[in-house]
Amino acid sequence: MIRIKFHPAFWLFALAVVLQGGYAYLLATIAVVLIHEFAHSRAAYSRGYVLNCVNLMPYGAMLAGGEDISRKDAVPIAAAGPLANFALCIGLYALWWAAPAAYTYTKVLFEVSFAIGVFNLLPAYPLDGARILVALGKNPVKTLRILRVIGMAIAFIMFGLYLVSYFYELNYSLGAMSVLLYVSATGGTEKEMYRHLTETIPYTKHLNSPIIRRTVMVHDGLKLIRLTRHIDADSYTTFEVVDDNFAKVAELDEKEVGDLLVKYPLQSTLKEVLPAWLAARKA
């Protein structure tokens, strides 16, 4: 059973649409979004995942259930939503061929379904197109970072078009989509980036051959995520953290670096997190 929640901003979007007389558009959007998310949910369920909570937001929705989906399964699950939208469009087109009178009543449904399907295939995080590219990419962390920037760029472009629409025919959808995309791109990547990062960090060593033990000196202004570049399967690395005067601040092994990655944002610097972390370790 899928639980449906309504984000407070959704009601503002719905009110704006209703005031413009767009009842049919609003109902079509809700129906299409639910079909889209149900397709994701069924694709996930067929692969052993439970994603059963839909949070409806302006011109979109987020499907959640506390599951970390593997990269192998992420492609068919992400693709299921847009495919359901296009399948609906094909079904409606067939309906028009069999019963032309239905065109008048289903035209809006077709347009919304096609628009949402195409929109979700854009290579911008957190849309389905971006999730597919992250799953297929050789370096998911780098791919996710690039797609995050693309997501913010597209959000700005859409907001600009929304402002331009003031002088012609006001398009609330562009405004709602731009805000949703920007908020998701700027605030929703940290957890997913860490998950992909932990999948790629080779903490497990090649014990069938000699392991090199080495010490790497790093500046305390270095970001946590950059430490992972020095961890590989053929060596065991100790990180000697120094300040601007090359005075030793701390010494970290790979396990301790992993602890920092779990407890603090990936873009934090060693200088920002080490004082609190060292104090907690001594306590």
For the chain, the straight-line distance linking the first and the last C-alpha, in angstroms and rounded, comes to 46
Per-residue pLDDT, averaged over 33-52, amounts to 80
Is residue 206 over pLDDT 70?
no
Domain boundary among the residues 200, 216, 243 is at 200
Residues 219 and 149 in one domain: no
Residues 75 and 139 occupy one common structural domain: no
Which residue, among 207, 271, 275, 264, has the nearest Cα to 243 in the 3D structure?
A: 271
Does residue 213 have a pLDDT over 90?
Answer: no
Q: Domain check: are 185 and 237 in the same one? A: no
Same domain? For 13 and 93 the reply is yes
**Average pLDDT for residues 178-201, to the nearest whole number?**
56
User: Assign residue 274 a region: left if phi > 0, alpha if psi is -120 to 50, beta otherwise?
Assistant: alpha
Pair 95, 205 in one domain: no
Both 49 and 100 in one domain: the answer is: yes
**117/232 same-domain check:** no
Q: Are residues 223 and 275 in the same domain?
A: yes
Strand pairing class (3-6; 53-57): parallel
Structural domain for 229, as ranges: 201-282
In the chain, how many domains are there? Answer: 3
Domain shared by 73 and 95, yes or no: yes
What phi, psi does 64 have (nearest 5°)?
A: -140, 165
Helices of type H across the chain: 8-19, 23-45, 71-98, 103-120, 128-136, 140-164, 172-187, 190-200, 224-227, 254-263, 270-282
Asked whether residue 154 falls in the same domain as residue 262, the answer is no
Residues 123, 129 contacting (CB under 8 angstroms): yes
Mean predicted confidence (pLDDT) in 46-72:
66
Cα Dmax for the chain = 80
Top-ranked range on mean pLDDT: pick from 10-14, 23-27, 248-252: 248-252
132 & 106 share domain:
no
Q: Which of 140, 172, 200 is the last residue of a domain?
A: 200
Q: Are 119 and 61 in contact (CB under 8 A)?
A: no
84 and 17 together in one domain: yes
Asked if the bond preceding 8 is cis, omega within 30° of 0, the reply is no
Do the Cβ atoms of 3 and 54 come closer than 8 Å?
A: yes
More confident site: 102 or 173: 102
Among 121, 144, 178, the domain boundary falls at 121
Indicate if the pLDDT at residue 84 is higher than 90. Answer: yes
In angstroms, the CA 87 to CA 81 distance is: 10
Quick one: tokens of 37?
Answer: 């998310």
**pLDDT tens digits for range 147-183:** 888 888 888 888 888 888 878 776 666 776 777 777 6
- Dist. CA 185–CA 208, nearest whole Å: 42
Q: How far apart are CA 71 and CA 196, in angstroms?
A: 9
Q: Sorting pLDDT into bands at 50, 70 and 90, what band is 196? A: very low
The arrangement of strands across the sheet holding 248-252 comes to: 212-219, 235-242, 248-252
